[in-house]
Structure 1
Amino acid sequence: MWRLTNRETRIAAQALILIAALATIAAMKLAGDLVAPVALGLVVGVVLAPFVNRLGRLGVPRAVSASVALFLAVVLLLLFISALGPVMSGLMEEIPKIQSEIRDWVDEIVRMVRGAEALGREIEETIAEGGDEAVKAAVPTLIDALWMAPNFAAQALIFAGTLFFFVLTADEIYKFIPTRAAALRDADRAVSHYFVTVTFINACLGLGTFGVMTLIGLPNAMLWGGAAFILNFVLYLGPVMMMAALLVGGAMHFTGAMVVVPLVGFLCLNMIEAQFVTPSLVGQRLHLNPLLVFLAILFGLWLWGPVGGIVSLPILVWVLVFSGHKTEASEEPAPDPLPDAV
């Protein structure tokens, strides 16, 4: 009877692991409408874990703590969506202006390049004809909104249910693996600290961007501040997108050297945040490889879109801490056991 050698057994096992990983990724991609809100609910539940644990130590029943956590999460999400509304409205108002500015740039390039009149007219006609369609396509129609509403409601219900029942039964879940319960709690604390700290830093960056753009005189300063706050959650990619947008905005509203002043102003704020504020508040507790962070964000965006970009870093932090990545938070003593869920 033919038997595999140890080396062949290891190769076969590694091949099976690779196949299983690829199949899991494909399943997560295909089931994004289901898995993405579940992942978001788990991440929010982990972020709120220290708050819920503190309520538990005060004697608050677990069911009440879970209800309070769900209410707090819903309120924060509604406030975030309400704040995002003016930002998106302002962005939609800027699209025709950007289209006109691009058309002017094309005209200037055509004048500089000899023999490019035909190509210039073709590009110009494409922008003129397709620009309005692009703007219209960016604004969902009533039918699109009605089609998306049930899907959004279902995902919101999945998110709420996952968050509530995870917070309600977290202790029971951890009891299934008592040998790793301390590591699970360390990971929860690290994610909560990371997300809360980064949110505070991004809010300060947004306020700083709003103040700088107001002083410069760039229109829609609130729009730029909100965009800086939101985009900075997507490390590396977000600030680059913000700087590119500010360069276009400066070219639209200023002339001469003032064109780059909005970009330079934001770049200074971003350098202060990235080089001093974030390392002092986050880096001392958790050291992440920049390449790993960049790839995690790209993978999250590809997998689940904006939701994936939001949850990718908290999940990465959780996995690293759970697997033994040392942080200041993981060296803190574990909290006292919480009372059983009601």
Structure 2
Amino acid sequence: MNLPLAARYANIVLATIALFVALSLGRSVFAPFALAIVVGIVLSPVASLINRLGLPRALGAFLGLGLILTILGGMIILLEPLVSLALEQAPRLWQELSDIITSLQRGLADLDSVSDEIARAFQPDEPAADGEEEAPTFMLPRLSDALFLAPAVASQILIFIGALFFFLLSRTDIYEWAGRISNLPDLRAARLPAGFTGPLHLRLMRAEKQVSRYFLTITVINTIFGAIVAGAFMLAGIPSALMWGVIAFLLNFIPYLGPLILAGTLLLSGLVMYEGALRFMPVALYMGLNFLEGQFITPAMVGQHLQVNALAVFLSLVFWLWLWGPLGGFVAIPLLVWFVALSKADPVPENQPAPAEIA
């Protein structure tokens, strides 16, 4: 009795490991596909509205895809002059940052020299080391690297566009099929009415609404937060305030890690742009605004029914970042909300009899 049970658990563990390995090896396909599914779930109200109006599903899929492409195109147009300005100033900023790193390296080298002198005082017979280690060099990515990655990026974009369109086109059929498959024995026994597709179908529909509502709320919060960051930086006289606001808006979709990355970037920028205590002004201003947003704005707008355990958010973020990198960071929280909503949704609505009640 114990041996088959142990073998069953071993098969589950091996299958889980094989699944993770497959997802990691096929990240160039699975990551954009998962992102398309998440975006499709977020855009589900648009497709549902088109269906309620009696219009073809293909029109809803085209409108949803067009909306996403328009948003992405608008963001590219908005960021293009800011990126061009950053590229123009990159050599000067890089040189100043290199000088700071060199100064730190010299300070560490002096500290090492003092340590060596102390060591020689206690060990006079040991010969001194000749020469100095060559300082590490820092190189920006080259144009050839970008050209090498271009085909891979283009293929992922095509996978994202195709998966998003066909998911919006057939998502209701997918949900109904999943509901029928999950209740296949009951359907064969004729214990369910003809129009009932099973609890899983209803859970998928309700989970979709939860994810869409959550993402819409978070998008509004991040938009307000980005605008506040841009306005505060503009009032403080920080250069490229609009760019920092857009970056704050985008990185705020990745909890914990996104704000940490932006804080580190602002710290380096402050060290390059300012002198004295003003060097810490950009990062301090941003961290203060981020604290207010995380403690007051988000809890007030999200509400208790959409909140997710903080540890679960952190573990999901770490897992998907480890598995798929930056794309995993963007899909981590929506997928977590989807799984949580799927597990909490009522399997049968009030006007639908449960399978056990049907003779």
Is residue 110–residue 116 contact of structure 1 (8 Å, CA) maintained in 2? no
Q: What per-residue deviation string (whole Å, max 9, x for no partner) do you get for residues 296-315 of structure 1?
A: 11221221121111111111
Instruction: Write the distance in 1 (CA, Å) between the matches of 2:5 and 2:77.
Output: 54
Instruction: Write the distance in 1 (CA, Å) between the matches of 2:301 and 2:342.
Output: 21
> What is aligned with 1:149?
150
> What is aligned with 1:32?
27
> What is aligned with 1:339?
none
Instruction: Write the distance in 1 (CA, Å) between the matches of 2:306 and 2:229.
Output: 26
The alignment's TM-score, normalised by the length of structure 1, stands at 0.83
Q: What per-residue deviation string (whole Å, max 9, x for no partner) do you get for residues 101-152 of structure 1?
A: 2223334555677527999x957x524xx12xx21xx2432xx444333322
Matched, 1:140 2:160: no
**Unmatched 5+ residue regions in structure 2?**
117-127, 180-196, 352-359
Instruction: Write the distance in 2 (CA, Å) between the matches of 1:331 and 1:95.
Output: 60
Instruction: Write the distance in 1 (CA, Å) between the matches of 2:277 and 2:146.
Output: 43
Of 303, 316, 323, the residue aligned with 2:343 is: 323
Q: What per-residue deviation string (whole Å, max 9, x for no partner) do you get for residues 75-112 of structure 1?
A: 22223344454555555514333222222333455567
One-letter amino acid matched to 2:167: F
Q: Higher Cα Rg: structure 1 or 2? A: 2
Matched, 1:162 2:163: yes
Is residue 218–residue 250 contact of structure 1 (8 Å, CA) maintained in 2? no
Q: Residues 28 and 84 of structure 1: is their aligned pair in 2 closer, same or farther, counting only changes over 3 Å?
A: farther
Instruction: Write the distance in 1 (CA, Å) between the matches of 2:266 and 2:345.
Output: 37
> What is aligned with 1:60?
55
Matched, 1:14 2:5: no
Q: Please, what is the CA RMSD of the aligned residues?
A: 2.9
Matched, 1:126 2:135: yes
Q: What per-residue deviation string (whole Å, max 9, x for no partner) do you get for residues 159-181 of structure 1?
A: 11111111111121111112122
Is residue 202–residue 348 contact of structure 2 (8 Å, CA) maintained in 1? no
Q: State the SS of the aligned residue for 1:235.
A: coil
Of 258, 276, 290, the residue aligned with 1:270 is: 290
Q: Residues 315 and 10 of structure 1: is their aligned pair in 2 closer, same or farther, counting only changes over 3 Å?
A: same
Instruction: Write the distance in 2 (CA, Å) between the matches of 1:57 and 1:305.
Output: 38
Instruction: Write the distance in 2 (CA, Å) between the matches of 1:54 and 1:218.
Output: 43
Instruction: Write the distance in 2 (CA, Å) between the matches of 1:235 and 1:90.
Output: 28
Instruction: Write the distance in 1 (CA, Å) between the matches of 2:162 and 2:350.
Output: 31
> What is aligned with 2:102?
103
Instruction: Write the distance in 2 (CA, Å) between the matches of 1:168 and 1:191.
Output: 19
Alignment of 1:237-256 (within 5 A): 237-256=257-276
Relative contact order higher in (CA < 8 Å, ≥ 6 apart): 1
Count of residues in correspondence between the two structures: 316
Instruction: Write the distance in 2 (CA, Å) between the matches of 1:35 and 1:286.
Output: 27
Of 224, 229, 237, the residue aligned with 2:244 is: 224
Q: Residues 292 and 91 of structure 1: is their aligned pair in 2 closer, same or farther, counting only changes over 3 Å?
A: farther
The alignment's TM-score, normalised by the length of structure 2, stands at 0.79
Alignment of 1:242-321 (within 5 A): 242-321=262-341
One-letter amino acid matched to 1:152: V
Is residue 79–residue 243 contact of structure 2 (8 Å, CA) maintained in 1? no
Q: State the SS of the aligned residue for 1:268.
A: helix
Compute the displacement of 1:318 (Å): 0.7
Is residue 206–residue 345 contact of structure 2 (8 Å, CA) maintained in 1? no
Is residue 38–residue 162 contact of structure 1 (8 Å, CA) maintained in 2? yes
Instruction: Write the distance in 1 (CA, Å) between the matches of 2:276 and 2:38.
Output: 46
Of 37, 44, 49, the residue aligned with 1:49 is: 44
